[in-house]
Amino acid sequence: MKRALGILLLLVLVLGLVSLPAFAEKAELNLKYWHAGIGGADLWAADCEEYEVLYVEGEDPYDYYYPGDLLASEKLVLRFGTGTSFILSGSYLISPSVSLDVSYWSLSRSDKVSKALDYPGEKLEGEFVDDEDDTYIGEWSDSYYRIRLPWSYETEGFWSWYWKWLWSDDTCQEESYEGVIIGQGDFSMSALDISGTKDLTGFGWEVGLSGGIRKASFDQSQLVGLKTFYEWWDEDPPYYDYSLSEGEKGSIYVESSLSLSAIGPQVGFEGTYALADKLVLKAGAKAGLLFGTAKTHAEITHDPWEYYWDGEEEVFVGWVPVEGAYFKKEYPSTTDTIRFSTYDFSVDLAYQITEQWSVEAGYYASIWSGVPSLVEVSVDADHFITWKKPEARTVTVSGLTIGANFKF
Protein backbone atom coordinates (compact mmCIF):
# COMPACT_ATOMS: atom_id res chain seq x y z
CA MET A 1 0.00 0.00 0.00
CA LYS A 2 2.86 2.39 0.80
CA ARG A 3 4.37 1.67 -2.61
CA ALA A 4 1.04 2.39 -4.30
CA LEU A 5 0.71 5.70 -2.48
CA GLY A 6 4.28 6.56 -3.48
CA ILE A 7 3.58 5.87 -7.14
CA LEU A 8 0.38 7.92 -6.94
CA LEU A 9 2.25 10.85 -5.37
CA LEU A 10 4.91 10.66 -8.09
CA LEU A 11 2.27 10.67 -10.82
CA VAL A 12 0.50 13.62 -9.25
CA LEU A 13 3.74 15.61 -8.97
CA VAL A 14 4.87 14.85 -12.51
CA LEU A 15 1.52 15.47 -14.08
CA GLY A 16 1.05 18.53 -11.91
CA LEU A 17 4.19 20.04 -13.38
CA VAL A 18 3.17 19.34 -16.92
CA SER A 19 -0.28 20.77 -16.30
CA LEU A 20 1.01 24.33 -16.60
CA PRO A 21 -0.70 26.35 -19.33
CA ALA A 22 2.20 25.74 -21.69
CA PHE A 23 1.44 22.02 -21.54
CA ALA A 24 -2.35 22.22 -21.55
CA GLU A 25 -4.13 18.98 -22.53
CA LYS A 26 -0.81 17.11 -22.83
CA ALA A 27 -1.22 14.88 -19.76
CA GLU A 28 -3.87 12.77 -18.07
CA LEU A 29 -4.23 10.79 -14.86
CA ASN A 30 -6.42 7.72 -14.31
CA LEU A 31 -7.36 6.02 -11.04
CA LYS A 32 -9.41 2.80 -10.92
CA TYR A 33 -10.81 0.76 -8.10
CA TRP A 34 -10.20 -2.92 -8.94
CA HIS A 35 -12.27 -5.64 -7.27
CA ALA A 36 -9.71 -8.30 -8.07
CA GLY A 37 -9.95 -12.03 -7.49
CA ILE A 38 -6.99 -14.44 -7.54
CA GLY A 39 -6.88 -17.79 -9.34
CA GLY A 40 -4.17 -20.45 -9.47
CA ALA A 41 -2.60 -19.56 -6.10
CA ASP A 42 -4.62 -21.76 -3.70
CA LEU A 43 -2.61 -23.83 -1.21
CA TRP A 44 -3.80 -27.18 0.18
CA ALA A 45 -3.65 -27.56 3.98
CA ALA A 46 -5.41 -30.86 4.76
CA ASP A 47 -8.23 -33.27 3.92
CA CYS A 48 -10.50 -34.09 6.85
CA GLU A 49 -13.03 -36.94 6.90
CA GLU A 50 -15.53 -37.98 9.56
CA TYR A 51 -16.29 -41.71 9.82
CA GLU A 52 -18.83 -43.71 11.73
CA VAL A 53 -17.46 -46.11 14.39
CA LEU A 54 -18.67 -49.66 13.69
CA TYR A 55 -20.43 -51.30 16.62
CA VAL A 56 -21.33 -54.97 16.94
CA GLU A 57 -23.63 -55.82 19.85
CA GLY A 58 -21.62 -57.24 22.74
CA GLU A 59 -18.21 -56.45 21.20
CA ASP A 60 -16.17 -53.50 22.45
CA PRO A 61 -15.47 -51.28 19.40
CA TYR A 62 -12.05 -50.49 20.87
CA ASP A 63 -10.89 -54.05 20.12
CA TYR A 64 -11.16 -53.70 16.35
CA TYR A 65 -11.75 -50.00 15.62
CA TYR A 66 -12.87 -50.40 12.03
CA PRO A 67 -14.21 -47.39 10.17
CA GLY A 68 -17.82 -47.43 9.09
CA ASP A 69 -19.54 -45.16 6.60
CA LEU A 70 -18.08 -41.84 5.57
CA LEU A 71 -20.30 -39.20 7.20
CA ALA A 72 -18.69 -35.97 6.02
CA SER A 73 -15.55 -34.66 4.31
CA GLU A 74 -13.88 -31.28 4.20
CA LYS A 75 -10.90 -29.96 2.26
CA LEU A 76 -8.97 -27.23 4.05
CA VAL A 77 -7.52 -24.85 1.46
CA LEU A 78 -5.89 -21.44 1.78
CA ARG A 79 -7.71 -19.24 -0.72
CA PHE A 80 -6.71 -15.64 -1.26
CA GLY A 81 -10.05 -14.67 -2.69
CA THR A 82 -11.36 -11.34 -3.88
CA GLY A 83 -10.58 -7.94 -2.44
CA THR A 84 -9.67 -4.32 -2.95
CA SER A 85 -6.93 -3.08 -5.24
CA PHE A 86 -6.20 0.02 -7.32
CA ILE A 87 -4.78 0.65 -10.77
CA LEU A 88 -2.94 3.94 -11.19
CA SER A 89 -1.92 5.21 -14.60
CA GLY A 90 -0.82 8.40 -16.29
CA SER A 91 0.33 9.58 -19.72
CA TYR A 92 2.12 12.59 -21.21
CA LEU A 93 1.94 13.66 -24.86
CA ILE A 94 5.41 14.10 -26.33
CA SER A 95 3.92 14.93 -29.74
CA PRO A 96 0.36 14.93 -31.11
CA SER A 97 0.55 11.17 -31.74
CA VAL A 98 3.23 9.92 -29.34
CA SER A 99 2.91 9.62 -25.54
CA LEU A 100 4.85 8.35 -22.54
CA ASP A 101 2.72 6.09 -20.31
CA VAL A 102 3.16 4.81 -16.76
CA SER A 103 0.86 2.42 -14.86
CA TYR A 104 1.07 0.57 -11.56
CA TRP A 105 -1.04 -1.90 -9.59
CA SER A 106 -0.50 -4.08 -6.56
CA LEU A 107 -2.50 -6.30 -4.24
CA SER A 108 -2.00 -8.18 -0.99
CA ARG A 109 -4.08 -10.98 0.52
CA SER A 110 -3.94 -13.41 3.45
CA ASP A 111 -6.01 -16.36 4.64
CA LYS A 112 -6.29 -18.70 7.64
CA VAL A 113 -7.93 -22.10 8.16
CA SER A 114 -8.28 -24.33 11.22
CA LYS A 115 -10.06 -27.50 12.27
CA ALA A 116 -10.47 -28.97 15.75
CA LEU A 117 -10.11 -32.76 15.67
CA ASP A 118 -12.01 -34.08 18.65
CA TYR A 119 -14.88 -36.56 18.97
CA PRO A 120 -17.61 -35.12 16.77
CA GLY A 121 -20.35 -37.68 17.39
CA GLU A 122 -22.63 -38.63 20.24
CA LYS A 123 -21.47 -40.64 23.25
CA LEU A 124 -22.64 -44.29 23.13
CA GLU A 125 -22.60 -46.91 25.87
CA GLY A 126 -22.46 -50.70 25.88
CA GLU A 127 -21.98 -53.51 28.38
CA PHE A 128 -19.07 -55.90 27.78
CA VAL A 129 -17.15 -58.75 29.40
CA ASP A 130 -13.34 -58.76 29.53
CA ASP A 131 -10.94 -61.74 29.33
CA GLU A 132 -11.31 -62.35 33.07
CA ASP A 133 -15.11 -62.45 32.82
CA ASP A 134 -15.49 -59.10 34.56
CA THR A 135 -18.36 -56.97 33.36
CA TYR A 136 -17.71 -53.35 32.47
CA ILE A 137 -19.44 -50.41 30.82
CA GLY A 138 -17.80 -48.95 27.75
CA GLU A 139 -18.42 -45.42 26.49
CA TRP A 140 -17.23 -44.10 23.16
CA SER A 141 -17.90 -41.49 20.48
CA ASP A 142 -19.88 -42.86 17.56
CA SER A 143 -17.71 -41.09 14.99
CA TYR A 144 -14.14 -39.88 14.59
CA TYR A 145 -11.89 -37.88 12.28
CA ARG A 146 -9.26 -39.05 9.87
CA ILE A 147 -7.06 -36.55 8.08
CA ARG A 148 -4.48 -36.43 5.29
CA LEU A 149 -1.74 -33.80 5.44
CA PRO A 150 0.51 -32.37 2.69
CA TRP A 151 3.66 -33.99 4.12
CA SER A 152 2.19 -37.28 5.37
CA TYR A 153 3.09 -40.59 3.78
CA GLU A 154 -0.14 -42.15 5.14
CA THR A 155 -3.63 -41.88 3.71
CA GLU A 156 -4.78 -40.96 7.19
CA GLY A 157 -2.05 -38.95 8.89
CA PHE A 158 -4.04 -38.66 12.13
CA TRP A 159 -7.27 -39.90 13.65
CA SER A 160 -9.16 -38.88 16.77
CA TRP A 161 -10.87 -41.12 19.30
CA TYR A 162 -12.43 -41.31 22.77
CA TRP A 163 -13.04 -44.33 25.05
CA LYS A 164 -13.98 -44.78 28.69
CA TRP A 165 -14.28 -48.00 30.71
CA LEU A 166 -16.12 -48.40 34.04
CA TRP A 167 -15.76 -51.65 35.99
CA SER A 168 -18.06 -52.87 38.72
CA ASP A 169 -15.37 -52.28 41.38
CA ASP A 170 -15.34 -48.55 40.53
CA THR A 171 -12.14 -48.83 38.53
CA CYS A 172 -12.22 -46.30 35.72
CA GLN A 173 -10.00 -45.76 32.69
CA GLU A 174 -10.30 -43.16 29.93
CA GLU A 175 -8.37 -42.65 26.72
CA SER A 176 -8.56 -39.81 24.20
CA TYR A 177 -6.65 -38.54 21.20
CA GLU A 178 -7.33 -35.03 19.92
CA GLY A 179 -5.72 -32.53 17.62
CA VAL A 180 -6.04 -29.28 15.74
CA ILE A 181 -4.96 -28.31 12.22
CA ILE A 182 -3.95 -24.74 11.52
CA GLY A 183 -2.93 -23.13 8.26
CA GLN A 184 -2.13 -19.60 7.21
CA GLY A 185 -0.82 -17.98 4.06
CA ASP A 186 0.16 -14.61 2.63
CA PHE A 187 0.14 -13.48 -0.99
CA SER A 188 1.14 -10.30 -2.82
CA MET A 189 2.00 -9.22 -6.36
CA SER A 190 2.60 -5.98 -8.24
CA ALA A 191 3.40 -4.64 -11.70
CA LEU A 192 4.93 -1.34 -12.87
CA ASP A 193 4.72 -0.60 -16.61
CA ILE A 194 6.58 2.16 -18.48
CA SER A 195 6.00 2.42 -22.21
CA GLY A 196 5.85 4.64 -25.25
CA THR A 197 2.68 4.72 -27.37
CA LYS A 198 2.10 5.64 -31.01
CA ASP A 199 -1.50 6.61 -31.81
CA LEU A 200 -3.27 5.88 -35.09
CA THR A 201 -6.59 7.61 -35.64
CA GLY A 202 -9.58 7.36 -37.91
CA PHE A 203 -13.21 8.49 -38.02
CA GLY A 204 -14.59 7.72 -34.56
CA TRP A 205 -11.75 5.40 -33.58
CA GLU A 206 -8.21 5.48 -32.26
CA VAL A 207 -5.60 2.72 -31.74
CA GLY A 208 -2.44 3.08 -29.69
CA LEU A 209 0.50 0.70 -30.25
CA SER A 210 2.85 0.54 -27.27
CA GLY A 211 6.23 -0.88 -26.32
CA GLY A 212 8.16 -0.68 -23.07
CA ILE A 213 9.15 -2.58 -19.93
CA ARG A 214 7.40 -4.21 -16.98
CA LYS A 215 8.84 -4.55 -13.46
CA ALA A 216 7.02 -7.27 -11.52
CA SER A 217 7.13 -8.81 -8.06
CA PHE A 218 5.42 -11.86 -6.56
CA ASP A 219 5.55 -13.13 -2.95
CA GLN A 220 3.78 -16.07 -1.32
CA SER A 221 4.21 -17.98 1.94
CA GLN A 222 2.47 -20.87 3.68
CA LEU A 223 2.48 -22.40 7.17
CA VAL A 224 0.60 -25.62 7.99
CA GLY A 225 0.72 -27.21 11.43
CA LEU A 226 -0.77 -30.12 13.34
CA LYS A 227 -0.97 -30.21 17.13
CA THR A 228 -1.88 -33.52 18.80
CA PHE A 229 -2.74 -34.45 22.38
CA TYR A 230 -3.05 -38.00 23.75
CA GLU A 231 -4.18 -38.78 27.34
CA TRP A 232 -4.73 -41.92 29.41
CA TRP A 233 -6.56 -41.33 32.68
CA ASP A 234 -6.71 -43.99 35.37
CA GLU A 235 -8.53 -44.51 38.66
CA ASP A 236 -8.08 -47.54 40.89
CA PRO A 237 -9.62 -46.94 44.33
CA PRO A 238 -8.45 -46.88 47.02
CA TYR A 239 -4.85 -46.74 45.70
CA TYR A 240 -4.99 -43.49 43.79
CA ASP A 241 -7.49 -40.93 42.56
CA TYR A 242 -8.51 -40.29 38.99
CA SER A 243 -5.36 -38.90 37.38
CA LEU A 244 -3.38 -38.61 34.17
CA SER A 245 -1.12 -41.65 34.02
CA GLU A 246 0.12 -41.49 30.44
CA GLY A 247 0.22 -38.77 27.82
CA GLU A 248 1.80 -37.55 24.62
CA LYS A 249 1.57 -34.21 22.88
CA GLY A 250 3.42 -32.67 20.02
CA SER A 251 3.38 -30.45 16.99
CA ILE A 252 4.67 -30.58 13.47
CA TYR A 253 4.91 -27.45 11.33
CA VAL A 254 5.85 -26.95 7.69
CA GLU A 255 6.72 -23.49 6.36
CA SER A 256 7.45 -22.55 2.76
CA SER A 257 8.01 -19.20 1.04
CA LEU A 258 8.69 -17.76 -2.42
CA SER A 259 9.86 -14.27 -3.41
CA LEU A 260 10.07 -13.34 -7.09
CA SER A 261 11.40 -10.22 -8.82
CA ALA A 262 11.58 -9.79 -12.61
CA ILE A 263 11.76 -7.25 -15.41
CA GLY A 264 11.39 -7.49 -19.16
CA PRO A 265 10.00 -6.11 -22.43
CA GLN A 266 6.30 -5.64 -23.01
CA VAL A 267 4.21 -4.71 -26.06
CA GLY A 268 0.54 -3.93 -26.38
CA PHE A 269 -2.29 -1.96 -27.90
CA GLU A 270 -5.33 -0.03 -26.77
CA GLY A 271 -8.22 0.96 -28.98
CA THR A 272 -11.12 3.35 -28.47
CA TYR A 273 -14.35 3.62 -30.41
CA ALA A 274 -16.97 6.34 -30.07
CA LEU A 275 -20.40 4.77 -29.47
CA ALA A 276 -22.11 8.12 -29.01
CA ASP A 277 -21.32 11.77 -28.48
CA LYS A 278 -19.92 11.25 -24.95
CA LEU A 279 -19.80 7.45 -24.73
CA VAL A 280 -16.60 5.58 -25.65
CA LEU A 281 -15.70 1.90 -25.68
CA LYS A 282 -12.08 1.06 -24.77
CA ALA A 283 -10.25 -2.26 -25.10
CA GLY A 284 -6.60 -3.19 -24.71
CA ALA A 285 -4.09 -6.00 -24.35
CA LYS A 286 -0.45 -6.30 -23.32
CA ALA A 287 2.07 -9.17 -23.45
CA GLY A 288 5.42 -9.32 -21.70
CA LEU A 289 8.36 -11.69 -21.33
CA LEU A 290 10.04 -11.20 -17.95
CA PHE A 291 13.39 -12.36 -16.60
CA GLY A 292 14.48 -12.35 -12.97
CA THR A 293 15.15 -14.38 -9.84
CA ALA A 294 13.05 -16.47 -7.47
CA LYS A 295 14.12 -17.00 -3.85
CA THR A 296 12.71 -20.08 -2.11
CA HIS A 297 12.90 -21.40 1.43
CA ALA A 298 11.18 -24.16 3.41
CA GLU A 299 11.51 -25.94 6.75
CA ILE A 300 9.79 -28.64 8.81
CA THR A 301 9.78 -28.81 12.61
CA HIS A 302 8.68 -31.71 14.84
CA ASP A 303 8.45 -31.19 18.60
CA PRO A 304 7.06 -34.19 20.60
CA TRP A 305 6.55 -34.32 24.40
CA GLU A 306 5.51 -37.08 26.83
CA TYR A 307 4.02 -37.30 30.31
CA TYR A 308 6.97 -38.89 32.06
CA TRP A 309 6.90 -41.56 34.79
CA ASP A 310 10.01 -41.82 37.00
CA GLY A 311 10.26 -45.54 37.78
CA GLU A 312 12.85 -45.16 40.51
CA GLU A 313 10.96 -42.49 42.44
CA GLU A 314 7.58 -43.90 41.37
CA VAL A 315 6.22 -40.45 40.64
CA PHE A 316 5.05 -38.59 37.55
CA VAL A 317 7.55 -35.89 36.65
CA GLY A 318 5.22 -34.13 34.23
CA TRP A 319 5.61 -33.10 30.60
CA VAL A 320 9.12 -33.47 29.19
CA PRO A 321 10.51 -33.49 25.61
CA VAL A 322 10.81 -36.94 24.04
CA GLU A 323 14.53 -37.67 24.03
CA GLY A 324 16.06 -37.62 20.55
CA ALA A 325 12.72 -37.05 18.80
CA TYR A 326 12.85 -33.30 18.12
CA PHE A 327 14.04 -32.32 14.67
CA LYS A 328 14.10 -29.27 12.44
CA LYS A 329 15.09 -29.68 8.81
CA GLU A 330 15.52 -26.86 6.33
CA TYR A 331 15.44 -26.73 2.57
CA PRO A 332 18.47 -24.60 1.69
CA SER A 333 17.51 -21.08 0.67
CA THR A 334 18.07 -20.88 -3.08
CA THR A 335 17.95 -18.16 -5.72
CA ASP A 336 17.04 -19.43 -9.19
CA THR A 337 17.02 -17.63 -12.52
CA ILE A 338 13.52 -17.64 -14.00
CA ARG A 339 11.56 -16.57 -17.06
CA PHE A 340 7.80 -16.21 -17.30
CA SER A 341 5.17 -14.49 -19.44
CA THR A 342 2.46 -11.98 -18.56
CA TYR A 343 -0.72 -11.17 -20.47
CA ASP A 344 -3.03 -8.30 -19.55
CA PHE A 345 -6.50 -7.59 -20.96
CA SER A 346 -8.90 -4.73 -20.33
CA VAL A 347 -12.23 -3.44 -21.53
CA ASP A 348 -13.98 -0.25 -20.35
CA LEU A 349 -17.02 1.86 -21.09
CA ALA A 350 -16.22 5.55 -20.53
CA TYR A 351 -18.54 8.53 -20.26
CA GLN A 352 -17.23 12.08 -20.82
CA ILE A 353 -18.59 14.43 -18.12
CA THR A 354 -16.60 17.53 -19.08
CA GLU A 355 -13.65 18.24 -21.35
CA GLN A 356 -11.34 17.25 -18.50
CA TRP A 357 -13.30 14.67 -16.49
CA SER A 358 -14.62 11.25 -17.49
CA VAL A 359 -15.76 8.18 -15.58
CA GLU A 360 -15.46 4.58 -16.67
CA ALA A 361 -16.34 1.04 -15.65
CA GLY A 362 -15.01 -2.22 -17.01
CA TYR A 363 -12.94 -5.35 -16.46
CA TYR A 364 -9.20 -5.96 -16.08
CA ALA A 365 -7.27 -9.25 -16.02
CA SER A 366 -3.58 -10.04 -15.62
CA ILE A 367 -2.36 -13.57 -16.35
CA TRP A 368 1.13 -14.66 -15.25
CA SER A 369 2.24 -17.92 -16.86
CA GLY A 370 5.25 -19.88 -15.56
CA VAL A 371 5.29 -18.64 -11.95
CA PRO A 372 7.33 -21.01 -9.71
CA SER A 373 5.49 -23.01 -7.03
CA LEU A 374 6.34 -23.25 -3.35
CA VAL A 375 8.72 -26.02 -2.25
CA GLU A 376 6.92 -29.08 -0.80
CA VAL A 377 8.07 -31.73 1.68
CA SER A 378 7.08 -35.34 2.41
CA VAL A 379 7.93 -37.51 5.41
CA ASP A 380 7.90 -41.33 5.23
CA ALA A 381 7.40 -43.91 7.99
CA ASP A 382 11.09 -43.75 8.96
CA HIS A 383 11.00 -39.93 9.16
CA PHE A 384 13.03 -39.68 5.96
CA ILE A 385 12.43 -36.23 4.49
CA THR A 386 12.13 -35.52 0.77
CA TRP A 387 11.93 -32.03 -0.73
CA LYS A 388 10.48 -31.32 -4.15
CA LYS A 389 9.68 -28.38 -6.40
CA PRO A 390 6.33 -28.75 -8.19
CA GLU A 391 5.88 -27.56 -11.75
CA ALA A 392 5.40 -23.88 -12.49
CA ARG A 393 1.83 -22.58 -12.51
CA THR A 394 -0.38 -19.90 -14.01
CA VAL A 395 -1.67 -17.21 -11.65
CA THR A 396 -4.57 -15.01 -12.73
CA VAL A 397 -5.79 -11.77 -11.17
CA SER A 398 -9.04 -10.40 -12.58
CA GLY A 399 -12.11 -8.39 -11.70
CA LEU A 400 -14.39 -5.46 -12.32
CA THR A 401 -13.08 -1.90 -12.33
CA ILE A 402 -14.56 1.55 -11.82
CA GLY A 403 -12.65 4.79 -11.99
CA ALA A 404 -12.16 8.34 -13.14
CA ASN A 405 -9.91 10.01 -15.70
CA PHE A 406 -8.66 13.61 -15.56
CA LYS A 407 -6.99 15.46 -18.44
CA PHE A 408 -4.64 18.30 -17.60
pLDDT digit string, tens, across residues 100-148: 999 999 999 999 999 988 877 788 888 888 777 778 888 888 888 888 8
CATH number at residue 15: 2.40.128.100
The pLDDT confidence band at residue 3, using thresholds 50, 70 and 90, is low
What does the pLDDT read at residue 241?
56
Highest mean pLDDT among 15-19, 378-382, 383-387: 383-387
CA atoms within 13 A on the CB side of 13: 6
What mean pLDDT do residues 139-158 have? Answer: 74
The pLDDT confidence band at residue 12, using thresholds 50, 70 and 90, is very low
What does the pLDDT read at residue 186?
97
Q: Give the integer Cα–Cα distance in Å for 47 and 74.
A: 6
- Buried b / exposed e along 102-136 (16+ C-beta atoms within 10 A): bbbbbbbbebebebebbbbbeeeebebeeeeeeeb
Indicate the SS3 state at residue 82: strand
What does the pLDDT read at residue 108?
95
Q: Give the integer Cα–Cα distance in Å for 49 and 46.
A: 10
For residue 345, give its domain range.
2-407
What residue spans of 136-186 are helical by DSSP H? none
pLDDT digits (tens, 9 = 90+) for 242-295: 567 778 888 989 999 999 999 999 999 999 999 998 999 999 999 999 999 999
Q: Give the integer Cα–Cα distance in Å for 217 and 259.
A: 8
The answer to whether the CB of 114 falls within 8 A of the CB of 77 is: no
| pLDDT at residue 86 greater than cutoff 90 | yes
Domain count, the chain: 1
The pLDDT confidence band at residue 22, using thresholds 50, 70 and 90, is very low
Instruction: Decide which of 98 and 155 is more confident.
Output: 98
Q: Give percent of the chain above pLDDT 90.
A: 50
| pLDDT at residue 397 greater than cutoff 90 | yes
What's the Cα-to-Cα distance from 213 to each of 1, 191, 210, 267, rounded to whole Å? 22, 10, 10, 8
